[in-house]
């Protein structure tokens, strides 16, 4: 257990509404990641963070923004949700503090449905 | 973006049989990871590999980092019903910013009791 929680775990919303998903970690790891998982696509990186207020785009960042004002929290925001953003969203943390080791551990996921 | 080709996409096996799956790419990776995901849960890390040729075991699971650095293999011996799930490979490209990983699309394993 890497001490990762995600909230909410399930959400149904309507097209055009803003949505914020929260990832919380208890172990002060520097690197945090947001992925989405869709059938046929596997896990795709949306955004990542390498420290407080340090974030960057991943493979599928359009329509998403992120913020990290504290080490323990990484927020993913859909400014205006669309049906194509219906997905399962996973947060992950990298637990190694340096070197080439790169073990990422995942949270339990948030299932988002946009109607 | 970079792709990892994972095969087979799905497999049905009898309890007690051994299982093999693999992940290949046209690019060199310097890290290979194997995850298992069960319905409604996040992926769980099974094995991490960091050197070409490395062979690592975790109970009945054994994974290898291919000598060319372009592939990796996962074997499960004497399968049991709780092995059911989707197995993902992931790799880190040399120089990947902030240790980003590239994921395969998964192998769905079904075990027939």
The per-residue pLDDT for range A12-45, each reduced to its tens digit, is 999 999 999 999 999 889 999 999 999 888 899 9
- Name chain A contacts of B97, Cβ cutoff 8 Å: 56
Question: Does the beta-carbon distance from A90 to B43 stay under 8 Å?
Answer: yes
- Residue B24's pLDDT is 96
Report the relative pairing of strands A64-70 and A54-57 from DSSP bridges. unpaired
Structure tokens at A72: 């323990």
- Residue B93's pLDDT is 86
- The pLDDT-based confidence of A98 (bands split at 50, 70, 90) is low
Nearest neighbour of B101 by CB, restricted to A50, A104, A107? A104
- Residue B2's pLDDT is 62
- The pLDDT-based confidence of A102 (bands split at 50, 70, 90) is confident
Question: Does the beta-carbon distance from B105 to A101 stay under 8 Å?
Answer: no
Structure tokens at B61: 């699971």
Q: Is the pLDDT of residue A99 over 80?
A: no
- Residue A107's pLDDT is 96
- The pLDDT-based confidence of A2 (bands split at 50, 70, 90) is low
Spans of chain B below 70 pLDDT:
1-2, 97-98
Cβ atoms of A112 and A15 within 8 Å: the answer is no
Q: Is the pLDDT of residue A97 over 80?
A: no
CB neighbours (10 Å) of residue A78?
19
Coil, helix or strand at residue B34: strand
């Amino acid at each position: 257990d890497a001490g990762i929680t995600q909230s909410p775990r399930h959400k149904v919303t309507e097209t055009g509404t803003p949505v914020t998903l929260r990832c919380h970690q208890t172990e002060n790891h520097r690197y945090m990641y947001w992925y989405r998982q869709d059938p046929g696509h596997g896990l795709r990186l949306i955004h990542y963070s390498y420290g407080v207020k340090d974030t960057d785009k991943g493979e599928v960042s359009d329509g998403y923004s992120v913020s990290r004002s504290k080490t323990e929290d990484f927020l993913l925001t859909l400014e205006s949700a669309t049906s194509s953003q219906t997905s399962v969203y996973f947060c992950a943390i990298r637990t190694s503090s340096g070197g080439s080791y790169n073990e990422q551990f995942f949270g339990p996921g948030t299932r988002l449905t946009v109607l | 973006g970079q792709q990892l080709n994972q095969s087979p996409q799905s497999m049905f096996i009898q309890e007690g049989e051994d299982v093999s799956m693999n992940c290949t790419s046209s690019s060199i990776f310097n890290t290979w990871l194997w995850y298992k995901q069960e319905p409604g849960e996040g992926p769980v890390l099974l094995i991490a590999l960091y050197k070409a040729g490395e062979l690592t075991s975790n109970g009945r699971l054994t994974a290898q980092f291919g000598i060319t650095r372009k592939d990796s293999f996962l074997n499960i011996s004497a399968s049991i019903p709780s092995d059911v799930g989707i197995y993902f490979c992931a790799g880190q490209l040399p120089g990947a910013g902030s240790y980003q990983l590239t994921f395969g699309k998964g192998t769905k394993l079904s075990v027939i009791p």
